[in-house]
Amino acid sequence: MRLPDTPGFFTCNACTLCNNPYDLRSPVAGDGPVPADIMFIGQTPGKVEQRTMKPFQGPAGHQLDMVIEECGLTRDQINITNVVKQRPDDGGKDRKPSYAEMAACTQWLAIEIATVQPKVIVCFGETAQQLAFPGLKPHQCQGLLRVKGGIIWLGTYHPAWILYKRDPALRQYLVDTVHKANTLAASSITPAPGALELMPGVTYTTELSVSTTTST
Ligand code: URA
């Protein structure tokens, strides 16, 4: 099941929460199994993702595919999404999403998380890491683990950063984090009931409830 098929996600296509001038009618939702024990969260779709309407399809996606394979996993075991659902455009160039865009889009992310019911969420890069470790700088988040909303959150490098830096040590860090996520997902942790505050001061109506479904 893809998330646009879920009732809560339909209204995402008509979202006007962030007042952006670009066309908001093609949000790229998460992709992967529902429920799923492991969820990956990136920053925003890029041009390739906006065209294919799936997260992590471009060069960063290929890097991620290799990491997933190295960890003995396959994409179809993991639900993959982004903090912001629409590519932020800056005169044809990609740009980082603003705080307001993140705050608007995380209400859709809250729906995704409540639907996917992950045990472990891996946050790739600064934007996603702000959800788990607000206020910390990217380098301070590497290897951090936090339990929030009954979910284990891990911070690590973004696959695009790995491609840019070409540093095997950083890449190994990403591989180790995905490995760790897989090990932790085998634990008996269950998402806790109650509201999940994804950003400080931003309230979501979606609640995580204890899953009665069988995890993948
Ligand atoms: N592609 C995505 O879907 N997300 C990112 O953060 C980067 C590339």
Q: What is the pLDDT of residue 6?
A: 58
Q: Which atom of ligand 1 is nearest to the CA of 159?
A: 7
What number is the average pLDDT over the span 84-94? Answer: 87
Average pLDDT over every residue of 43-62 = 94
3-state SS, one letter per residue, for the chain: CCHHHCHHHHHHHHCCCCCCCCCCCCCCCCECCCCCCEEEEECCCCHHHHHHCCCCCCHHHHHHHHHHHHCCCCHHHEEEEECCCCCCEECCEECCCCHHHHHHHHHHHHHHHHHHCCCEEEEEHHHHHHHHCCCCCHHHHCCCEEEECCEEEEEECCHHHHHHHCCHHHHHHHHHHHHHHHHHHCCCCCCCCEECCCECCECCCCEECCCCCCCC
Q: From ligand 1's centre to the CA of 60, what distance in Å?
A: 7
pTM above 0.75, yes or no: yes
> Does 212 have pLDDT greater than 50?
no
Distance 43 CA to ligand 1 centre (A): 6
